[in-house]
Amino acid sequence: MSRESTESEIDSHDASTDRSTAPRHEEIDYLSREVNLLKPSTPFMRDHLKVIWTGFVAWALLTFGPPVLTYFAPATMTAQLPVIGFPLHYFLVAVLSPTSSLVLAFIYSRKRDQLDERYGIDHTASQTRSKSESEAAVADGGRVE
């Protein structure tokens, strides 16, 4: 099977294709691929963009939702919360927005790790190489000969 046919199989947008592309994933030269946010060229890019866009939509709703709701429903959003005595909109902006950002960051990192595992991406090789290079560095920025 030629390299072009393998890449065309990987690039197909059919949902029926097998998603276990780890062995074929290493054959793709990603540096020569076009990166297009609206039409990604590889299955990994498509899956990664789904995670990114889902997270972006969730972040936008959680961040801009309380102010928009305050504009459209001021009576409900400015009502005092019984236990803490703050207005609802203040509590949502002060607590929900930062907390949701942290939770979304955690979810993104878990999803990205799952994608890396699905497509056979291993980051240990690059970490091993950078450690050996940093050990060879000298205090003045030169190299050990």
Residue-wise pLDDT for 43-68, tens only, equals 888 899 999 999 999 999 999 999 89
Give a yes or no: residue 141 inside a domain: no
124: helix, coil or strand? Answer: helix
Give a yes or no: residue 98 inside a domain: yes
21: helix, coil or strand? Answer: coil
Give a yes or no: residue 23 inside a domain: no
User: How many structural domains are present in the chain?
Assistant: 1
Distances (CA, A) of 42 to 14, 58, 108, 123, 142: 12, 24, 20, 19, 40
pLDDT average, residue stretch 98-118 = 94
Q: Is 9 exposed, middle or buried (0-12, 13-18, 19+ CB in 10 A)?
A: middle
Give a yes or no: residue 21 inside a domain: no
Give a yes or no: residue 105 inside a domain: yes
The pTM (predicted TM-score) of the whole model is 0.63
Q: Which pLDDT score is estimated for 110?
A: 96
Q: Which pLDDT score is estimated for 121?
A: 80
Distances (CA, A) of 133 to 15, 37, 125, 130: 43, 34, 13, 5
Give a yes or no: residue 10 inside a domain: no
Q: Is the pLDDT of residue 111 over 70?
A: yes
Give a yes or no: residue 63 inside a domain: yes
Q: Which pLDDT score is estimated for 101?
A: 92
Give a yes or no: residue 127 inside a domain: no
